[in-house]
Amino acid sequence: MRTRIVHAARVSSTQDMAREMMPRELGTVIVADVQEKGRGRRGHVWLSPRGGLYASIILRSDPLLSLRVGAAVARALQQAGIVARLKWPNDVLVAGKKIAGILIEVADGTAIVGIGVNMDSAPLSEVTCIVSETRMPITRDELLHSILQEIEITYEEDIIEAYRVLCATLGRRVRVSIAAGKEVTGIALGIDRDGHLLVDDGEATRTIIGGDCVHLGTGV
């Protein structure tokens, strides 16, 4: 994939900037120093002070994209000396604390993949950042290039197998919110070939297509 990186000093959200681009060329990456209205999954705010990595990449939409990008970000962080694992589907954690998040939005058939990584500060007490987790120096742009390379690699491998290796959810007791007021609680048994989470709730194995997952008990 040929990439073209567009840098912006301050934006509302790199997601919006990508959405407004016409034509929206595959491989375009928008990276901003500051976002005034960074957003996360499920309507959350993504605090985006100077010093973090905030990027949106225009990619072909694909059902496994969410796992693909999660795996790529986790591996790029591992190369920087960080013990990064994934909470299904694609929250990137270090010892249970979130270090990076991914938001995928689809516009006219193309995916806008937003990646936020806390680099030199953790904007909330329950999250962490790169400088707290490694002494290996890495710049924002080096990390971005490493993530882009890792995304490419995921198209040449068995992404489900690669994802399972990185996934801290497997074997854990979890609670997954799947719709308003609807939750599944049980043991995360596996990830199927479509990237869905399999949870044993004591009565049956439930196949979960999407939702917000919480790891219960101790562990990563």
The residue ranges that bind ligand BTN (CB under 6 A) are 13-15, 35, 38-41, 44, 46, 54-56, 91, 101-103, 114-116
CB of 203 to ligand BTN, least distance (A): 31
Of 46 and 88, which CB lies nearer to ligand BTN in the complex structure? 46
Of 72 and 186, which CB lies nearer to ligand BTN in the complex structure? 72
Of 14 and 186, which CB lies nearer to ligand BTN in the complex structure? 14
Closest CA to 82 of 21, 32, 14, 147: 147
Of 114 and 195, which CB lies nearer to ligand BTN in the complex structure? 114
Closest-approach residue to ligand BTN (CB): 101
Q: Which residues contact 204 (CB under 8 A, 6 or more apart)?
A: none
The b-or-e profile of 151-173 (16+ CB within 10 A means b, else e) is beebeeeebbebbbebbbbbebb
CA angle 152, 154, 160 (to 5 degrees): 165
**Tokens at residue 10, please?**
């301050």
CB of 13 to ligand BTN, least distance (A): 3
CB of 98 to ligand BTN, least distance (A): 7
Closest CA to 101 of 125, 81, 128, 83: 128
CB of 139 to ligand BTN, least distance (A): 17
